[in-house]
């Protein structure tokens, strides 16, 4: 005797395209792809028994998804909503945790921890973690900021960023700055090299062997760097570095210098030297806004790759390593890409100021 006849599955073009697309998706849920595969085989005219044997499911499972698709079509392939376990934490308790986190501090600390908040509210530490994660609260983190008080902040930002994003034709743009007081440090004991499963180890104490100051200029078009070390950091050394740049610059193109408001950049001798060269143009970054100077990004690379973990027994060794780093960088220089326009930067500063006022800063 034959059993109950299986429901016939007839797919439209859109339904077939959707089901086949789910099988090709790498991130599709395994349960959904299995159901789509069952429906496609049923639509090919196979019985529940044949589909179950081919795909490795039970006949009951195949019959279930055949009926669900016949009744609800593609929407029927989704799992039904399940209420799950009843909530044990009320909305009032969640609001209380958020309010305490934002508006209060514990008696013995400057900020809440998960376990101190759990002890204060009587909730479990896992509940506190979920609440903080849901609302993006991270009391353990702290960031610093500094807003420029330069009265010409807007004009200087527009000037420097405009120079980066639309440099003048047939002109050279150089970002100039100095990294002063670079210490030649040697560890009190030899550095233990890295080994399989063991990181490089060094003593936390060190010996100072003198300092040097690096003056550098970054060409924003090519990414090449001109750098020179001096024993002292005065206007005299800065003027000597400008003369070094002048000797290396080709004749003809204008030279645009981007630099900060440090006192050594504005001495009468420096101003007089620049005044005798009308094809040299100076663009000052706003006060407390050295992040606008692209050479600072190169200084960060120098620190991370060469200075931070370097061992130097003398200033001469330090200066030699810096010169080697500059030569290696200039073998295949790559310019930094400035992506934010002046309007976007100013809008971001405006939003931060408004947010700070709302928080009572």
- The pLDDT tens digits of the residues spanning 90-148 come to 999 999 999 999 999 999 999 999 999 999 999 999 999 999 999 999 999 998 888 88
pLDDT, residue 360, reads 55
What dotted CATH number matches 152-351? 3.30.420.10
CATH 1.10.10 fits 13-77, yes or no: yes
**Cα gap 45→133, rounded to integer Å:** 49
Average pLDDT over residues 228-256: 93
CB under 8 Å, gap of 24 or more: what pairs does 9-18 form?
9/39, 9/42, 9/43, 9/66, 9/69, 9/70, 10/43, 11/39, 11/40, 11/43, 15/73, 15/74, 16/40, 16/43, 18/74
Could you tell me the pLDDT band of residue 347, with boundaries at 50, 70 and 90?
Answer: very high
Alpha helices in the chain (DSSP H): 13-24, 30-43, 48-55, 59-72, 91-103, 114-121, 125-135, 153-165, 235-248, 268-275, 295-302, 315-331, 342-358
176 against 205, higher pLDDT: 176
pLDDT in tens, 39-57: 998 988 888 888 899 988 9
pLDDT in tens, 58-98: 989 998 888 888 888 888 888 766 677 888 899 999 999 99
Average pLDDT over residues 4-25: 85
Three-class SS state of 101: helix
pLDDT in tens, 259-286: 998 999 999 999 999 999 999 999 999 9
For the chain, the structural domain boundaries read: 13-77, 91-135, 152-351
Same topology, domains 13-77 and 152-351? Answer is no
Sign of CA dihedral 140, 297, 211, 305: positive
Could you tell me the pLDDT band of residue 1, with boundaries at 50, 70 and 90?
Answer: very low
Asked if pLDDT for residue 354 goes beyond 90, the answer is no
pTM of the model: 0.69
């Amino acid at each position: 005797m034959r059993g109950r006849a299986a429901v016939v599955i007839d797919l439209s073009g859109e339904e077939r395209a959707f089901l086949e697309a789910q099988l090709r998706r790498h991130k599709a849920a395994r349960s959904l792809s299995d159901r789509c595969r069952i429906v496609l085989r049923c639509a090919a005219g196979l019985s529940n028994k044949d589909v179950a044997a081919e795909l490795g499911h039970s006949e009951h499972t195949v019959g279930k998804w055949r009926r669900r698709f016949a009744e609800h079509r593609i929407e029927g392939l989704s799992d039904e909503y399940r209420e799950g376990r009843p909530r044990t934490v009320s909305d009032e308790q969640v609001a209380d945790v958020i309010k305490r986190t934002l508006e209060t501090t514990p008696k013995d600390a400057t900020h809440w921890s998960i376990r101190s908040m759990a002890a204060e509210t009587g909730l479990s530490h896992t509940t506190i973690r979920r609440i903080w994660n849901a609302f993006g609260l991270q009391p353990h983190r702290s960031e610093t900021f500094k807003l420029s008080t330069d009265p010409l902040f807007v004009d200087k930002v527009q000037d420097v960023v405009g120079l980066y994003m639309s440099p003048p034709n047939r002109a050279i743009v150089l970002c100039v700055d100095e990294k002063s007081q670079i210490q030649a440090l040697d560890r009190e004991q030899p550095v233990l090299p890295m080994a399989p499963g063991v990181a490089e180890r060094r003593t936390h104490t060190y010996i100072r062997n003198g300092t040097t100051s690096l003056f550098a200029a970054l060409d924003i078009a090519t990414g090449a760097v001109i750098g020179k070390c001096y024993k002292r950091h005065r206007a005299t050394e800065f003027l000597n570095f400008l003369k070094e740049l002048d000797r290396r610059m080709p004749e003809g193109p204008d030279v645009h210098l981007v630099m900060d408001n440090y006192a050594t950049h504005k001495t009468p001798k420096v101003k007089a030297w620049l005044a005798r060269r009308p094809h040299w143009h100076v663009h000052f970054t706003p006060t407390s806004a050295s992040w606008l100077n692209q050479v600072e990004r190169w200084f960060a690379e120098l620190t991370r790759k060469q200075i931070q973990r370097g061992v130097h027994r003398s200033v001469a060794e330090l200066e030699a390593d810096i010169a080697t780093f500059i030569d290696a960088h200039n073998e295949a220089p790559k310019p930094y890409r400035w992506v934010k326009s002046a309007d976007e930067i100013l809008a971001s500063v405006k939003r931060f100021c408004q947010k700070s006022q709302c928080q009572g800063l």
